[in-house]
Amino acid sequence: MARPGPGRVIAAGVTATAALLALIHLPPHIQPSPSRTTPSASTADTTELARLATDYLQQRADMLTAARPTVEAASGSLRATPAMAARARSELTALAEKGRQYEGVDGGYTRARVDVEVTGADVTDRTATLRLTDHTRLYFSSTPQQTEGDAPECEESALPRTMTFARGADGGWLLSSDRAEVTGGPLPTTEVAEVTHAGGHPAH
C-alpha cells in the first residue's frame, strides 16, 4: 500500500491547527453562553403568589394594631380583582374597628407579624390556587407589670387557607378569593367574615 506523501501529511496538520486556532479565537458574540439556572415558571409563580398572599394577610393583621394604616392606603396597595377588592375593603374596615375596640379595653395590639407556609399550589396559564397556613402573631400592648410577669407577649394563631388568583391585564396575578378553614372553637382575631368549616359548611 502506498504511503501518503509529505504534502498530504503537512496539509492535514495545517488543517487541524487552523481548526484549533479558530476554536481558541472565536469572536465573543458566537462563543457558547455560560449555562444559567432559570427557575421554572411554576416555581416563579408560586413564589409570587406566596408574596401576594403574605402582603394581603399582613395588611389584615396590621389593621388590628395601633400602627394601622388607613383603609384607603391598605386597600389601595392590594392586587385583587374588583370583586375581591370590594370584599377586602369591607373586611379591612371591620378589622380596624375591632382593633380600636380592643385598644379601649386593654390597650390592644402594638404590631403584627405574618408568616405563610405554602402547603400546595396548582398553577395554570390564567388561574392559580394556593393552599397555605397563615401563622399570625399579634403583640400585646404590655404594661411594665405584665412584662415582668409570665404574661404572653403575643396572641398566636395558625389558620389553613385557600386562595385563588387570576391573571390581570398586565400579566400579573390578582387575588380573586380567600377562604379560611376552621375546625371549631373561637374565631381567630384576624377573621371578621364568614369562615368555611372543614367539610365546606359556613360558620355563622
Domain ranges within the chain, ordered by starting residue: 41-197
- What is the CA angle 184-122-196, rounded to 5? 20
Query: pLDDT digit string (tens) for 2-13?
Result: 444 444 333 444
Please say if the pLDDT value at position 27 is more than 70.
Answer: no
- pTM tops 0.85: no
pLDDT at 11: 41
Per-residue pLDDT band at 15 (split at 50, 70, 90): very low
- In total, the chain counts a number of residues equal to 204
- Indicate the fold that domain 41-197 takes in CATH: Nuclear Transport Factor 2; Chain: A, (3.10.450)
Where does residue 58 rank: exposed (0-12), middle (13-18), buried (19+ CB within 10 A)? middle
Q: How far apart are CA 103 and CA 176, in angstroms?
A: 32
Q: Which three cell numbers stand for residue 9?
A: 501529511
Query: pLDDT digit string (tens) for 60-96?
Result: 999 999 999 999 999 999 999 999 999 999 999 999 9
Across 109-123, average pLDDT: 97
Q: Which residues pair with 52 in a beta bridge?
A: none
Strands 173-182 and 196-197, by their bridges, are parallel
Q: Any idea what DSSP says for residue 65?
A: B
